[in-house]
Structure 1
Amino acid sequence: MTQHPQETVIGRITSVFGVKGWLKVYSYTDPVDGILNYRHWTLLHDGKRIPAELEAGRRHGPGIVVKLKGIDDRDLAQTYGGAEIRVPLSELPPLPEGEYYWHQLEGLSVVTVAGERLGRVHHLMETGANDVLVVRADDASIDQRERLIPYLPDQVVREVDLAADKLVVDWDPEF
């Protein structure tokens, strides 16, 4: 997911729902229905940025369905399939100390407690048991391997220093 400097991706439109312009949404927020707290979205679809206003939304089974202002029929709604949903970073609520949004971790350099550089956090993924850092090698890395490192604060992730652009992990580079 490529970020615009002042916004982050909070979900994706997956398909239409019904015939009155409703859309199914895959939410990246936690909890899933947290996406409904953001009323003004920017949709990124086929390279175009489209402002959108959330008119209504609700949980539907394991997912979310939404109605965007001005989209009142299935055919028009269908044209938005696959669009990323973005919001300004300024709209995200502050987190307690020691907690981070994924976008804050993406791009940080990853160093072992022994000082070996493994690369940079490319992105994170949710696995169910815990989130996983996808660390890709860069020019300063000890090798050119991609690593999947569990995001387990105080166990594997020993330090997150946003100001220093660094994340320290207790991780064997051979993994």
Structure 2
Amino acid sequence: MTKIILGKICSSHGILGWMKIFSYTEKKKKIFQYNPLYYEIGNKKNKLKIQDWKCQKNFFLIRVKNIINRSASDLLKNIKIFIYHTQLKHIKNVYYWYELINFEVFNTQKKFLGTVKNIIRTPSNDILIINKKKNYQNKEILIPFIEKKIIKKIKRKKKKILINWNI
């Protein structure tokens, strides 16, 4: 199953086992709507059983079941928080970033441009980072994710994206 990273435990906070977390979700508080949340230590998957949380500027403080002191919370420092893709709601014509990674990208003239390496968020729109190998060198192409105008079609089953873009 595909893991979706939603955040990270940054550090301990105080002596009572509270931990500072940073949410990667678009709307930061939405991280608490996913249930269950998981983390891994080594190869062991664990549920993150949050008992309480509070907002602090750009991060959150959480209290986790059975973590009652700083020593215990220090063991989870820098651990990623995730869910499985099966926990996400699938909405027609809505694409999660993880789904588009490694999709092949073609322009409307059927020219292969490369594969989606990553997606970044900007204030105006998301940007596809396309990895294009040219003369044995990796080159990146940045394509604005603007549906209908630039992104013409996304074929989930074929893992292809058709765009209106010339290089």
Q: TM-score, normalised by structure 1?
A: 0.81
Do residues 124 (structure 1) and 119 (structure 2) align?
A: yes
> What CA distance in whole angstroms lies between the structure 2 residues aligned with 1:73 and 1:11?
22
Runs of 4+ in 1 over 3 A off after TM superposition: 47-50
Partner of 2:101: 106
Gaps of 5+ in 1: none
Letter in 2 for 1:164: K
> Which of 72, 76, 87 is the matching residue for 2:83?
87
**Conserved in 2, the CA contact under 8 Å of 1:107 and 1:120?**
yes
- Give CA-to-partner distance per residue, 1:78-112, whole Å, 9 cap, x none: 222221111122211232x2111111111211111
Q: Which segment drifts farther, 7-16 or 49-58? A: 49-58
1:33 CA displacement:
0.7
RMSD: 2.3
Q: CA deviation at 1:35?
A: 0.6
- Equivalences, count: 165
SS at match of 1:146: strand
State whether residues 160 and 166 of structure 1, in contact with CA within 8 Å, keep that contact through their aligned partners in structure 2: yes
Q: Is the strand fraction higher in 1 or 2?
A: 2
Aligned to 2:22: 26
- Give, as a single letter, the amino acid of the residue that structure 1 aligns with 2:105: V
Residue 21 of structure 1: how far off its partner (Å): 1.6
Cα deviations by residue, 1:42-64 (Å, 9 ceiling, x for unpaired): 2135x544402222223322322
Identity of aligned residues (%): 22
Contact 1:121 1:134 in 2 (8 A): yes
2:124 aligned with 1:168: no
The reply to whether residue 159 of structure 1 matches residue 153 of structure 2 is yes
Q: Give the letter for the 1:119 counterpart.
A: G
C-alpha contact 1:15 1:25 (8 A) present in aligned 2: yes
